[in-house]
Amino acid sequence: MLQEINSPEDVKKLTLQQKKQLAQEIREYILQIVSENGGHLASNLGVVELTIALHSVFNVPTDKIVWDVGHQTYVHKIITGRREALKTIRKLNGLAGFPKTNESESDCFNTGHSSTSISAALGMARARDLKNEKNNVIAVIGDGALTGGMAIEALNDVGYSKTNMTVILNDNEMSISPNIGGLNMLLSKLRTKKLYTKSNISAKKIILKIPGIGKPFVKVVQRIKRSLKQLIIPKMFFEDIGFTYLGPVDGHNLEELENILSLSKQVQGPILIHVLTKKGKGYKIAETNPDKYHATGPFDLETGKPKKEKAKDYSKAFGEKLVELARKNKKIVAITASMKDGTGLTQFQKEFPERFFDIGIAEQHAIGMAAGMAKEGMIPVVPIYSSFYQRAYDQVIHDVAIQNLPVIMCVDRAGVVGADGETHQGTLDLSFFRLVPNLKILAPKDFKELQDMLEYAVNLKSPVVIRYPRGRRRKL
Ligand SMILES: Cc1ncc(C[n+]2csc(CCOP(=O)(O)OP(=O)(O)O)c2C)c(N)n1
């Protein structure tokens, strides 16, 4: 069936049963490609039904779907005419792994960095209203990306603005590692509230069908239901800040998904649809280790084992030395913005859980908090990928450098990064860090120098940046 899917129109024509079959074929196809080329696996397997449902109910490109981070758009690309081109992903001149407006008119906004979708979608919705147009605008954001400040700032604005738009919260309880934070605690309460919400939806559905009185009446009922909800779900956060909350809905049940998406078209104002999905769905090996298969190199489909064993890299050399230094110096703490494994902090967390802080996909907060800890005598070490350090530029200047605080900022993936495209290249950090006062910038040429520099930085008592590339030591 997949061979006949060349556009969303082809999906719309299918029966529910055929769509289920299509979902199965898409999973097999993605597994085939990613096991050969490498790529983002678990997140894509998790959104197969959600993406089919979105393209069944909405009309891209008139309707705008903004994908947060954008690493989960393989299914969207397959459905929107790029099935064959997906085979070239992660290859020279191949298809991009993230949405690209210059690749297809079905990609309405470029993404790559986390937590941007709600802002962009609100901008598009406001522009639509000013132009007196009528299209739908949808942001699809993961529970991990929701921990980013930009997403929270946008929610704050959307809820208050009463603009017609939809936020689809793709909740798989995972960032790359298990998700953390207060919002995650809120979501876990909501995840179990199935029954009440179903009746909420059907009430709305019925009332909306009554000619003439539908919409105003829904508002009254919603208000009553909202006050009821205070009794049933304490602190109904999303409704309190101005959203109509729909869900939670099983993100692998196509029928339920299509129903809730169709219903959402009739509700006025901002809507948040809480969709529960499983990362790695349909491939047991990834379901059990979703963090390992978030992004992967080529691997053997039968065993899940990488085709090439990973050689020691700079992140690992950094992590090993940090553990050694932290054994001797109790003031050393490590902070990660949701990238524990990628930045080499796995062992540090195991040995020093009380000195390890995963603070969500929140680079600005990571540096702000590091500054506070440094002010109180700790030695914070903050490894963040170069391109994500762009997020924390003001905090590096305002919170760390001007106060001359001893924060050790480790800039991983500095320089040319490769596979993930221009949003992920680490080519700007030298240009922007060199303008910052009080900041020493170090760039090791090999693992040994990186480790020596880390030791030097721990004793320096002033802010320091250590930048190192992705992967292995270069042969000199
Ligand atoms: C600013 C920024 N920091 C870090 C990352 C790296 N990153 C890519 S995906 C991801 C996890 C996203 O989790 P979630 O939004 O829940 O999506 P899921 O993969 O679980 O579907 C992270 C941390 C990024 N893309 N952007």
pLDDT bracket for residue 234 (50, 70, 90): very low
Structure tokens at 298: 């080529």
What single-letter DSSP state applies at residue 145?
A: G
Q: Residue for token digits 């993605």?
A: 30
Active site residue 229: no
- % of residues, the chain, pLDDT over 70: 90
**Torsion, Cα of 37, 38, 41, 47 (10° steps):** -40
Q: What is the pLDDT of residue 311?
A: 87
- In this prediction, residue 223 has a pLDDT band, given cuts at 50, 70 and 90, of low
Q: What's the confidence (pLDDT) of residue 97?
A: 98
218 — pLDDT class (breaks 50, 70, 90): low
Q: Can you count the helices (H) and strands (E) in the chain?
A: 20, 13
Active site residue 204: no
Condensed to tens digits (0 to 9), the pLDDT of residues 339-374 reads 999 999 999 999 999 999 999 999 999 999 999 999
| Span 268-294, average pLDDT | 97
> Cα angle at 55 between 49 and 58, to 5 degrees?
130
Selected residue with higher pLDDT from 88 and 231: 88
At residue 412, does pLDDT exceed 90?
yes
The residue whose CB lies within 8 Å of the most ligand 1 atoms, and thus the one to mutate among 34, 66, 116, 175, is 175
% pLDDT > 90, the chain = 87
Q: Whose CA is nearest to atom 16 of ligand 1?
A: 144
How many angstroms does the Cα of residue 47 sit away from the middle of ligand 1?
14
Give the DSSP per-residue string, 360-398: -S-HHHHHHHHHHHHHTT-EEEEEEEHHHHGGGHHIIII
Q: Which domains does the chain have, with CATH numbers?
A: 2-193+233-296 (3.40.50.970), 314-467 (3.40.50.970)
Average pLDDT, the chain: 92
Residues having CB within 6 Å of any atom of ligand 1 = 43, 46, 69, 71-72, 113-114, 142-145, 170, 172, 174-176, 279, 337-339, 361, 363, 388, 391
Inter-residue contact 355 to 334 (CB < 8 Å): yes
For residue range 241-262, list pLDDT tens digits in order: 999 999 999 999 999 999 999 9
Model confidence over 5-21: pLDDT tens digits? 999 999 999 999 999 99
